[in-house]
Amino acid sequence: MSVSTQNEINPVAVEDFLPLNGTDYVELYVSNSKQAAHYYKTAFGFQDYAYRGLETGEKDTESYVLAQDKIRIVLSSPLHSGTAIGKHIDKHGDGVKVVALWVDDATDAWKQTTSRGAKSYMEPTVEEDDHGRVVRSGIHCYGEVVHIFVERKDYTGAFLPGFAPMKTDYNPPTVGLKYVDHMVGNVALGRMNYWVKFYEDVMGFDNILTFDDKDISTEYTALMSKVMSSGNGYVKFPINEPAAGKKKSQVEEYLDFYEDEGVQHIAVATDNIIDTVQKLKSRGVEFLRVPSTYYDTVLDRVGQIDEDLKPLSDLGILIDRDNEGYLLQLFTKPVQSRPTMFFEIIQRKGAKSFGKGNFKALFEAIEREQELRGTL
Ligand code: FE2
């Protein structure tokens, strides 16, 4: 151990006024939470976690909470007509309502963000049961999506006060999904920079990457995207807006069918994408497919990788490299009736980027799907 003889000068830390520990949960409003829970368990390997509904004394809403490693999803449906959740489903179809963020101080998170211009969704609220207390607060973001700040350091219960632990006899194994890597929002034409500024000013995020329509365009469609990252990098929200193209872009198709801005995809990380995608496919999850010619030249573009190319090409897994490493990724088809939200499965091997080298092949694959839907 060395002893310094003079005071060391510490770099001035940039104050992070909204320190986030990660994504706490993602809540989807769905038309049939019971069947959605079965789907996410059967197809995606989520596990029983917690429940709130008639059996726990809740009269208006039924919610299933499922988990896989650090990922928690909440699936909520109304138990009668005329509810806010019912109206949300009528307008948008199934979709993400809450992107909840884990904080140490939900009261301060609310004060910091609302004092910087966020519109309040939920004032700091203490919820308690025999297992302790949770403080939650919330703000609005794009569309009808909200961020709820969750402070759970004094809580040892299953999920939140009011929820009972969920245990059933039907427990399909996991598929190796680990954590939410990023969640992408689609916003209206001309609104990307507004929301970039919102995340910068209100939440202290940084714009770490920008893609314009030259990066992300095909013969027909284009989009622009900026990646926003929390101060510590634990939470990343890319934001897309449509750009002018010859035909309707995938972002416009989303906005038309969701009838609003909203969450386009949830990217979930795995340590073994070949194994995870094999399992997801065998359990009925449908993926986008790029032409097999993609694999003729991909290694010229990305160089040496640890995996054999054969299983990657058999499964249609995409590869990209940046100056820090490479990544493997694959996108599902939309997971509800409307062509809106989908999932991305991602394995990072050093790369911190988002697969720019795959955009063209990927968007052409999406356009083939749009063509089939008659929405291109
Ligand atoms: Fe993504």
In terms of residue numbers, what domain contains 324?
Answer: 177-373
Instruction: State which amino acid sits at residue 129.
Output: D
Q: Which of 238, 282, 264, 251 is nearest to 343 (CA)?
A: 264
**70 in any annotated domain:** yes
pLDDT at 14: 64
Ligand 1 mean position to 260 CA, how many Å?
Answer: 20
> What band does 323 get if pLDDT is binned at 50, 70 and 90?
very high
86: pLDDT strictly greater than 90: yes
Q: What is the CATH number of the domain that holds 36?
A: 3.10.180.10
Q: How far is the CA of 359 from the centre of ligand 1 (A)?
A: 10
User: Which one of 130, 145, 165 terminates a domain?
Assistant: 165
Cα atoms in the Cβ-side hemisphere of radius 13 Å centred on 185: 29
Ligand 1 centroid – CA 303 distance (Å): 22
| 152 shares a domain with 270 | no
Q: Tell how far the Cα of 344 is from the centroid of ligand 1, in angstroms.
A: 6
In a shared domain, residues 270 and 364:
yes
Asked whether 67 and 167 are in contact (CB, 8 A), the reply is: no
For residues 142 and 225, state if they share a domain.
no
Distance of CA 135 from the midpoint of ligand 1 (Å): 30
38 & 144 share domain: yes
User: Are 161 and 182 part of one and the same domain?
Assistant: no
* Last residue within a domain, chosen from 124, 143, 165: 165
- Name the pLDDT band for 215 (thresholds 50, 70, 90): confident
For 169, other C-beta atoms within 10 Å of its C-beta total 5
Do residues 138 and 277 both lie within one domain?
no
Please say which residue of 130, 165, 200 terminates a domain.
165
Confidence of residue 5 (pLDDT cuts 50, 70, 90): very low
Distance 181 CA to ligand 1 centre (A): 8
Q: How far is the CA of 21 from the centre of ligand 1 (A)?
A: 20
Whether residue 56 is found in the same domain as residue 108: yes
Q: Do 182 and 297 sit in the same domain of this protein?
A: yes
- The 3-state DSSP class for residue 219 equals coil
Structural domains of the chain, count: 2
- Residue 217 near residue 356, CB atoms below 8 Å: no
Cα angle for residues 310, 312, 318 (degrees, 5° grid): 140
DSSP 3-state assignment of 26?
A: strand
* pLDDT tens-digit series, residues 94-141: 999 999 999 999 999 999 999 999 999 999 999 999 999 999 999 999
